[in-house]
Amino acid sequence: MSPSHNPKLADLLLQYAGLSENGIAVLDAENRFVYYNPAFAQMFDFADQSMISKTHGDLMEWMYMQQRGSNIEWANLQDWLEYAGSRQRSAPFRSFEVDLKGGRWILMTEQVCPDGELVMFCSDITRQKETENALKKAHGDIERLALTDDLTGVPNRRNFMQRLAQEISRSQRSAEPFCLAMLDLDFFKKVNDRFGHAAGDEVLKHFANFVQQHLRAEDVLGRLGGEEFGVLLPNSSLPVAQLVLNRVLERLQAERLPEVAADFSYTFSGGLVQHGAAPGKSGSDLLALADQALYAAKADGRNRIAPYTPQPAAPVA
């Protein structure tokens, strides 16, 4: 039985709507408000206004101009009104989320009736959204921790090797060169032995931060383990990559870490290999070749960058 045939039921529904904490509003076929309850007016912050007989567009324009109600981020009012108007009544029933000024969120449903009326029902989902956002943040933090070195904040070995594999694939598709470097702090064990592991950690953090500041925006620094770091230098030939790393090497000479010891400084050595100009194909192969070049840099006196040099083929007996 419809409410129109049962006045008591109609009164009960109106009483429920008036007392409900959920927002309820009804628009006629011409999109003019014929009813809204106090909760709806409070949600959209127009309790001090009357919207009866005004259109839904009037309410949206009022909210935009007054910066009240919905959190509207559109720069142009007309563009937003056209977009919102195109979405309304686009289906017999639709459901969507709306963020309000002050950080609250509502879930709004719209039901188009056979005679053209539109019934809007709004429920507060702020707590659910807060929980959802907290879970997203926690998931992001876990993902970041899984891919980031805890001490230095740069990509860890797993993350770095993934990026190296991606760069190999990109280079193979584009035929553009890239270089891989392995960096190692010189005499780092002596720093730990003389000043302690806490001081060693400060040196590692300083090194990671310093190198990141002096690499190019597209370059990627990662910590491979201990005092060893890797650097990806995309779109770079061996001379270009060596120029970039030598600049880092030279600028580090002027750095001092008084928190470790008065006038304390340190150096690093690096091995450099260009993908495609060396026999290695996989990320592990390239890393092994960069390690060979690093060994050569240390054998040659440290505090330098050494490019990978292929070993001459053994003579045939």
Return contacts of 213-217, CB within 8 angstroms, 24+ apart: 214/247, 214/248, 214/251, 215/244, 215/248, 216/244
Would you say the pTM of this structure is higher than 0.75?
A: no
- In a shared domain, residues 158 and 122: no
Reported in sequence order, the residue ranges of 214-299 that DSSP labels E, i.e. its strands, are 220-225, 228-233, 268-274
Q: Which of 96, 129, 162 is the last residue of a domain?
A: 129
> Does some domain include residue 91?
yes
> In this structure, are 33 and 172 located in the same domain?
no
Same domain, 181 and 229: yes
Tokens of 11: 């009164």
CATH number at residue 247: 3.30.70.270
pLDDT digit string, tens, across residues 92-135:
999 999 999 989 999 999 999 999 999 999 999 999 999 999 98
Using a pLDDT cut of 90, give the percent of the chain over it. Answer: 78
Q: Is residue 235 very low, low, confident or very high in pLDDT (cuts 50, 70, 90)?
A: very high
pLDDT for residue 146:
84
Residues 114 and 203 in one domain: no
User: 213 in a domain, yes or no?
Assistant: yes
Kindly report which listed range (41-45, 171-175, 226-230, 270-274) carries the lowest average pLDDT score.
171-175
Mean pLDDT of the residues in the chain: 92
Asked if 165 and 245 sit in the same domain, the reply is: yes
Check whether residue 52 and residue 179 sit in a common domain. Answer: no
Domain range for 111: 3-129
DSSP string spanning 155-172?
B-HHHHHHHHHHHHHHHH
Would you say residue 312 lies in a domain?
no
The reported pLDDT for the residue numbered 200 is: 96
Confidence of residue 61 (pLDDT cuts 50, 70, 90): very high
Per residue in 264-312, pLDDT (tens digit) is 999 999 999 999 766 667 899 999 999 999 999 999 999 999 999 877 6
Residue 313, in any domain of the structure? no
Residue 144 covered by a domain: no
Residue-level pLDDT at 184: 97
Q: Which residues are catalytic?
A: 227
Q: Determine contact, residues 236/216, Cβ cutoff 8 Å.
A: no
Q: Among the listed ranges 178-187, 223-232, 260-269, 275-284, which one has the minimum average pLDDT value?
A: 275-284
Query: Is there a single domain that holds both residue 81 and residue 124?
Result: yes
Q: Is residue 176 part of a domain?
A: yes
What is the domain count for the chain? 2
Please indicate, yes or no, if residue 135 is contained in any of the structural domains: no
**Residue 31 is part of a domain; what is its CATH number?**
3.30.450.20
Query: Is a pLDDT exceeding 70 seen at residue 188?
Result: yes
